[in-house]
Chains A and B, each alone.
Chain A
Amino acid sequence: MTSVTTDAETPDAAFVRRPAPVRTFWIVLAVAALAAAVFASVAIGSRHVGLTDIWRALLGHEDTLNEAAVTKRIPRTILAVVVGAALAMAGAVMQGVTRNPLADPGILGVNMGAALAIVVGITMFGLSSVTSYVWVALVGAGLSAVFVYTVGSLGRGGATPLKLALAGTATTVAFVSLIRAFILPRGDVSGVFLSWEIGGVGGASFGSLRQVAPFLIVGFVVALAVARPLNSLALGDELATGLGERVAVTRAFAAIGAVLLCAGSVAAAGPIIFVGLVAPHVCRLVVGLDHRWLLPFSAVLGAVLLTVADVLGRVVARPDEIDVGILAALVGAPFFIYIVRKQKVREL
């Protein structure tokens, strides 16, 4: 059976808990980076604009083309920030719940579950609004999360990283081929779906933001509320129970929070892979393993990552845009491989 020991499981004391000033420093730095990324996202695009245009647009003017362009960039920036934060926090929670360094909404097939549900909704029930997408995505994400986790934890050794990742990938592959079968006879749907599937924040509007906001807010709150119990969970089920933690309840709430976050972001921006993997790992290096710090910090860093990826996508292929989901995967996959290589993986 696989046995994977991460460095995180046998940490030295300094690694577990960084001194408070260090953590505060990094948080401040991350927030500053987020501010810079947000500014860049509003300022940079295929049309060059000046500072005054940005200022006037932020105040609500929309008189010139430049100001209108900036106004278009505002909801998109907000969406990138929110989705990045949601995915990163969902990833951090999932890694905590499954005690698995490779957990990520994309890898575990949760995103594709939401995608399949949305495709079924569009083709069979004629859904067309973002609100209905959210509900359907929620069901799909929830079911596939439960399914993949159950399947991955069957058998000896429980939910090992290998079994979870394989169960997630195999489920993803199965879902993709079902999706293909659903949209193949429907030429009209396939175009809509293809652009949604790639994952993008380009089509954002305040309307669609408002639709997913309640789900995300509840998700954030639930996730932050389980931060402390997650710390005990990291010690292992037996020890956590011994410490008076109700393990099953914690698991359930953490899963609900993660699923809400995933479903909300998938419905708004399509399945974006690897953000939920990269951000928490980087955060663990700088703030340590305490979930009370880890979760908010992951959210900030995830927001930075996705916003920067979005800006890069606009700059790299001017005047074309590369969708943020594609850039996230291209950057995230090498990181995933790096984590896999770093682990002491024993042979099956």
Chain B
Amino acid sequence: MSALDTVTAVVRGRHRRALRRRAMLGLLAVLIVAGFLVTLTSGRTYYPLSDVLDVVLGETVPGASFTVGELRLPRAVLAVLSGFCFGLGGVTFQTMLRNALASPDIIGITYGASAAAVFAIVTLDLSETGVSAFAIVAALAVALLIYLLSFRDGVVGTRLILIGIGIAAMLNSVVSYLLSQAGQWDLQEATRWLAGSLNNATWEQVVPVAAAAVVLTPVLLAQARNLTMLELGDDTAAALGIRLERTRLIVIVGAVGLIAFATAATGPIAFVAFLAGPIAARLFGAGGILLLPAALVGALLVLVADFVGQFAFGTRYPVGVITGVLGAPYLIYLIVRSNRSGGSL
């Protein structure tokens, strides 16, 4: 009898958690749509929702067609997409390496893209598309390099993180050197890119990010179950029949791809990849699969931060500065908390 009670309690609890998860996901989605609409309607000039909807549906509305269709719409779409990619890529790394601090912006992968982009801007004088392509290739190459360098009888998470830190420090000094050599104009462009910004968002930038999200998101979601096994520790995961290196490689390529495409379009928006996972863990309770929640949190984060950066202050701050300033104290708080509790998300 009591065994039956326990079973019903467990079933009920599972049911309740699933409900809560669905409700939270729904809430996040609603918030994103609402934020999306707000950024489309308001700004320097206000356009009513009906005008905005007309523009989205492809009709010509004087004034709104340009402001909304050419400026606000690509910007908002890029914000959502890049936030989605950052969040998903970041939480994948955090889950795989079982450490909230091991997000791509801390272990060197984003630095790879940054260094390449600055090199392309300052030294090679490439066009915008060229810079993006270069940054994507470099992020993948740096991730591969970190992976290979930490390979010794398999890759151990700890070693991967530490080697990533070393690579990050090196690339950081490359960026400093390139900036010190840059002319005034290039310097401005490079710093703007480094700060992470959605200014000058165009449809041409949106397309590759969207493609990456569409292709890579299912890949990562399909690996979600294996990823949770990895979270139990390498030995346990192997005992449960997970092919460690294969899973790890697929997951790394997928996550780095997302991060690289998003970074190439917007620059490294500080801390989004890092923050999305822990925030999602707070909202959804640790233990569940956090991939989709973190992706939505990331999207919402970038959308809101960009809006705040544009209109809340006298100067227009790029979105990366806003997320950076908000993220830094939270990061410090999180280090304290995660170290005290002894580890992962």
List residues of chain A with CB under 8 Å of any chain B CB.
Answer: 1-2, 4, 102, 106-107, 151-152, 154-156, 161-163, 165-167, 169-171, 173-175, 177-178, 180-181, 184-185, 194-195, 197-198, 273-274, 320, 322-323, 325-326, 328-330, 332-334, 336-337, 340-341, 343, 345-348
Contacts of B97 in A (CB 8 A): 348
Knowing A165-B165, A171-B335, A333-B166, say if A180 contacts B173 (CB, 8 Å). Answer: no
Q: In the bound complex, do residue A154 and residue B271 qualify as a contact, i.e. CB atoms below 8 Å apart?
A: no
B27: CB under 8 A from chain A?
Answer: no
Q: In the bound complex, do residue B166 and residue A198 qualify as a contact, i.e. CB atoms below 8 Å apart?
A: no
Knowing A152-B339, A166-B106, say if A194 contacts B165 (CB, 8 Å). Answer: no
Inter-chain CB contacts under 8 Å: number: 155
B208: CB under 8 A from chain A?
Answer: no
Contacts of A328 in B (CB 8 A): 173
Contacts of A156 in B (CB 8 A): 342
Which candidate, B6-14, B78-86, B152-160, is the interface stretch facing chain A? B152-160
Contacts of B169 in A (CB 8 A): 106-107, 273-274, 329, 332-333, 336
* 12 contacting pairs across A/B (C-beta < 8 A): A155-B341, A155-B343, A162-B162, A165-B161, A170-B332, A171-B335, A177-B328, A181-B325, A184-B317, A333-B169, A336-B166, A337-B163
B102: CB under 8 A from chain A?
Answer: yes
Q: In the bound complex, do residue B149 and residue A333 qualify as a contact, i.e. CB atoms below 8 Å apart?
A: no
Q: In the bound complex, do residue B328 and residue A174 qualify as a contact, i.e. CB atoms below 8 Å apart?
A: yes
Q: In the bound complex, do residue A194 and residue B180 qualify as a contact, i.e. CB atoms below 8 Å apart?
A: yes
Query: B98, B99, B156, B176: which contacts A198 (Cβ < 8 A)?
Result: B176
Query: In chain B, residues 90-143, which have Cβ atoms closer than 8 Å to a Cβ of chain A?
Result: 97-99, 101-102, 105-106
List residues of chain B with CB under 8 Å of any chain A CB.
Answer: 97-99, 101-102, 105-106, 149-150, 152, 156-159, 161-163, 165-170, 172-174, 176-177, 179-181, 195, 233-235, 270-271, 315, 317, 321, 324-325, 327-329, 331-332, 335-336, 339-343
Distance of A167 from chain B, by nearest CB (Å): 5
Q: In the bound complex, do residue B101 and residue A170 qualify as a contact, i.e. CB atoms below 8 Å apart?
A: yes
Contacts of A4 in B (CB 8 A): 158
Distance of B278 from chain A, by nearest CB (Å): 12
Query: B106, B321, B339: which contacts A151 (Cβ < 8 A)?
Result: B339
Q: In the bound complex, do residue A163 and residue B331 qualify as a contact, i.e. CB atoms below 8 Å apart?
A: no
Q: In the bound complex, do residue A185 and residue B315 qualify as a contact, i.e. CB atoms below 8 Å apart?
A: yes
Question: CA separation between A196 and B339, bound complex, in Å?
Answer: 33
Question: CA separation between A343 and B158, bound complex, in Å?
Answer: 11
Interface SS majority for chain A: helix
Contacts of A346 in B (CB 8 A): 156, 158
Distance of B46 from chain A, by nearest CB (Å): 28
Distance of A317 from chain B, by nearest CB (Å): 9
Contacts of A154 in B (CB 8 A): 336, 339-340
- Of chain A, the residue at the smallest CB distance from B191 is A190
Q: In the bound complex, do residue B158 and residue A333 qualify as a contact, i.e. CB atoms below 8 Å apart?
A: no
- Of chain A, the residue at the smallest CB distance from B162 is A340
Question: CA separation between A337 and B169, bound complex, in Å?
Answer: 11
Besides A151-B336, A167-B101, A345-B158, 11 other A-B contacts (C-beta < 8 A) = A154-B339, A155-B341, A173-B105, A174-B329, A178-B328, A180-B195, A273-B173, A323-B176, A329-B169, A336-B166, A336-B169
Distance of B45 from chain A, by nearest CB (Å): 26
Contacts of B327 in A (CB 8 A): 174, 177
- Of chain B, the residue at the smallest CB distance from A175 is B328
Contacts of A337 in B (CB 8 A): 149, 163, 166-167
Query: A1, A170, A323: which contacts B180 (Cβ < 8 A)?
Result: A323
Contacts of B343 in A (CB 8 A): 1, 155, 348
Q: In the bound complex, do residue B342 and residue A1 qualify as a contact, i.e. CB atoms below 8 Å apart?
A: yes
Knowing A180-B195, A181-B324, A330-B170, say if A166 contacts B102 (CB, 8 Å). Answer: yes
Knowing A155-B342, A198-B176, A273-B173, say if A340 contacts B233 (CB, 8 Å). Answer: no
Contacts of B329 in A (CB 8 A): 174
Distance of B161 from chain A, by nearest CB (Å): 7
Distance of A108 from chain B, by nearest CB (Å): 11
Q: In the bound complex, do residue A107 and residue B165 qualify as a contact, i.e. CB atoms below 8 Å apart?
A: yes
Contacts of A181 in B (CB 8 A): 321, 324-325
- Of chain A, the residue at the smallest CB distance from B315 is A185
